[in-house]
Structure 1
Amino acid sequence: MAASLALLAACQSTETKQETTATTAPAEAPKADSAGAKKYLSEPLISNIYTADPSAHVFNGKIYIYPSHDIETGMPENDKGDHFAMNDYHILSMDSVGSKVTDHGVALSVKDIPWAGRQLWAPDAAFKSGTYYLYFPVKDKQDVFRIGVATSTSPSGPFKAEATPIAGSFSIDPAVFQDTDGNAYMYFGGLWGGQLQRWQKGTYDANAAEKEPSTDVPALSARMGKLSADMKHFDGPVQDVKILDEAGKPLLASDTKRRFFEGGWLHKYNGKYYFSYSTGDTHLLVYAVGDNPTGPFTYKGVIMQPVEGWTTHHSIIEVKGKWYIFYHDTQLSGKTWLRNIKVTELKRKADGSIETIVP
């Protein structure tokens, strides 16, 4: 462990694109304690840098992972997340789950984004017509989170950012879903430090509360925008993602174990659309199911119980007929702002419901 942490510290200042290969225990071979009991569900995929918020995709027959790159800044923790002061992205790849992981080096930095101020948080990626798109949230020079897009001819980058953020975008955690009919949608938003609660009136309100309402009113939800043909703009107005309870009513702000907080992700299974997300301060990954990518979605249950560390953030993909969930915890550092990404199999029951994972 001491050697791993020393290597981590040495790699935090890397600013050039340089591929490295890191090997860890296979994802399904967790460490055991002295009594032989499993200590963790799975092991970190990479240990040369700290990584979090893994958005995974299969491109060209390989698994590519687009995570946040955690660094140590010495900032005190707060509910706005200032201590998550990431300033670049490293893209990872592997041939299959459990194989060696390649770190392709720096793919995009804050300094390369003309309109950016600070804090490159959880990204996502997409591919269309020979171009790879990297979607990222970053605070602009007025300290307001916006979502930008960068492009590359390679899934591993480097990526070149557009000169301005996506018009109509705000908050954090972009996740792009491309349906079989060719349409693409971006889901985004996050409470507290993600500033979603500051957009209730349609424009940014710097004087709004630091947190969302906590009473029995409909919960603030993620936002969704259909992407234009060039994948760089919204094709129409941004909409609320409607998440309903079993009676068909909107989830309430006080329902903190089911309401949306951050980290949305959409995947499709047997013709149904699964919108999954983090509940934030209750530390669950949960999901809701709908008949359309635009919703509404009905809450169904818990995907994953709390991990080690405050945050929880995931992605779900199919690889060679099996489904996997990529997630993070703090096994390597024990610090909630210095995380490591992992993967484990996602299992379903015959009716399509997801079995709860206990990490």
Structure 2
Amino acid sequence: MMRTLTIGAVVAMALSTATITASAQNPFITNQFTADPSAKVFGDRVYVFPSHDIPAPDGRNLRKDWFCMEDYHVFSSENLVDWADHGVIVTQNKVPWVKPDSYAMWAPDAIERNGKYYFYFPATPKDSTIGRGFTIGVAVANKPEGPYIPEERPIKGVRGIDPGVFIDKKDGQAYLYWSQGNLYGAKLKANMLELDSEVFTLKDFPKEGLKEGPYVFERNGIYYMTYPHVENKIERLEYAISDNPLGPFQFKGVIMDESPTGCWTNHQSIIQFKDQWYLFYHHNDLSPKFDKNRSIRVDSLFFNADGTIQKVTPTLRGVGLTNAFREIQIDRYSHIGGASIDFIDTSKRFDGWKTTFAKAGDWVRYNSVDFGNKKAGSVTVRVKSEAGALLQVSTKENIIIAEGAVAPKSGWNDVIIPVKSMPKGVSDLIVTLKTGKGVDVDWIRFN
């Protein structure tokens, strides 16, 4: 699955210092490992502040089987489809209080107040007078993409990881949450740099199993505390509610079940953007055999009439409309029948995935493709077929858009098939292998 690295001219001018890294579908960042996504709406864009997994460098006395993180990037999008990488905003060896080369820049969070942007991150201090173990620092910027200037010292009185920050719109009070065995919370001063209350151990959460990653949001007067919890062997996403930002909280249910493939961790944030709610989370899509190198995802989230959250089923398709005249990565399908997905090159996993049609009748369905009012004369299929095949592209209403032969040929080739019938507006697409076997497809694109 090769990513289209283009974006509209207006947005490109506005983001001239950023690099366009990915399109829609899950995971939505595919040129690096990312985890623990903290999503925020600033203005008319969504900004995501994740942690940045990397393989442990050689010669640094680091565990090869553990998490390794040295810096943070920030990504943004105006449509949840085209994501821009604004580059590194904080790195371990440029924070005054952080132990050099500690590679422990774990899950962060960020928020805006009075035109300033505050980025909260955990790390291990180099100075024993600060304390042992993780604590939490702050970096401040005038724009959400930075540059961020780290404070000289971490927040006094905080010991732990996974900071989450929340401002109550009711009275403007800010709160900081974190985890360290239990979930903790405290008020923040207006300067967003110091605690303004005692530290509260948040109550009525499960006593057994790891709890971490506290993230709070408010909807219709209800305060939702969301968090990962190991109920059995790996984390699932749960939530509890309260009428107070510091609880006590009442357990309400599961937002997302445990990973079906065994990824040990998950980490969440929830936002409303353009009248729709979204859950950001992570999985190990780009590193299926090593779940300490993860990738961030997004799916739609819905509420019941009583305010409870409907459980989210993870998808590969993700969210947003896909432009029919750009590469459509059908391996990020919404439904599948018979076909299978694998990496294009297992030694170069950032190159993405391919769809393999093993036999005639295999198909994949890809939803929400936007044709607008344009007309296409052909569809290009990036395909590999040594034996030859007949491929069909149709709508969910069984209208054949294009059908054409793929000549037997080694290696990847771009095959152009004439369009018979052109959809208008938004449509689902179904790609079917009519005859042949062992056919690989990277992407399709209308021309």
Normalised-by-shorter TM-score class: 0.7 to 0.9
Query: Do the aligned residues in 2 keep the contact of 1:68 with 1:120 (CA within 8 Å)?
Result: yes
1:144-293 equivalence runs, <5 A:
144-180=133-169, 181-189=171-179, 196-197=180-181, 221-243=182-204, 251-253=206-208, 256=209, 261-280=211-230, 281-293=233-245
The more displaced of 136-145 and 338-347 is 136-145
SS in 2 for 1:262: coil
Q: Which runs of 5+ in 2 are unaligned?
A: 4-15, 315-447
Find the partner of 1:312 among 266, 284, 298: 266
Q: 1:152-198: CA deviations, max 9, x gaps?
A: 00101121111011000111000001111211101101xxxxxx24x
CA distance in 1 between counterparts of 2:292 and 2:18 reads 24
1:68-79 equivalence runs, <5 A:
68-73=51-56, 75-76=62-63
CA distance in 2 between counterparts of 1:282 and 1:47 reads 24
Percent of aligned pairs sharing the same letter: 41
SS in 1 for 2:93: helix
CA distance in 2 between counterparts of 1:120 and 1:22 reads 22
Find the counterpart in structure 2 of residue 108 from structure 1.
90
Query: Do the aligned residues in 2 keep the contact of 1:243 with 1:288 (CA within 8 Å)?
Result: no
Find the counterpart in structure 1 of residue 9 from structure 2.
none
Q: 1:54-95: CA deviations, max 9, x gaps?
A: 0000002100000001100165466xxxx2120100000000
CA distance in 1 between counterparts of 2:160 and 2:312 reads 28
Q: Relative to total residues, which structure has the larger strand share, 1 or 2?
A: 2
Find the counterpart in structure 1 of residue 307 from structure 2.
352
| Letter aligned with residue 288 of structure 1 | A
| Letter aligned with residue 271 of structure 2 | I
CA distance in 1 between counterparts of 2:139 and 2:63 reads 31
Pairwise CA distance, 1:18: 6.2
CA distance in 2 between counterparts of 1:76 and 1:85 reads 8
CA distance in 2 between counterparts of 1:357 and 1:153 reads 35
SS in 1 for 2:161: coil
CA distance in 2 between counterparts of 1:175 and 1:124 reads 6
Find the counterpart in structure 2 of residue 20 from structure 1.
19
SS in 2 for 1:343: strand
Query: Do the aligned residues in 2 keep the contact of 1:287 with 1:303 (CA within 8 Å)?
Result: yes
Q: 1:268-308: CA deviations, max 9, x gaps?
A: 11111110100044311000010111100000110001234
CA distance in 1 between counterparts of 2:244 and 2:176 reads 14
| Letter aligned with residue 357 of structure 1 | V
SS in 2 for 1:111: helix
Find the counterpart in structure 1 of residue 285 from structure 2.
331
Find the counterpart in structure 1 of residue 12 from structure 2.
none
| Letter aligned with residue 162 of structure 1 | E
TM-score normalised by structure 2 residue count: 0.61
Give the RMSD, CA atoms, in angstroms.
Answer: 1.8
CA distance in 1 between counterparts of 2:124 and 2:116 reads 25
CA distance in 1 between counterparts of 2:197 and 2:252 reads 29
CA distance in 2 between counterparts of 1:18 and 1:114 reads 26
Query: Do the aligned residues in 2 keep the contact of 1:54 with 1:327 (CA within 8 Å)?
Result: yes
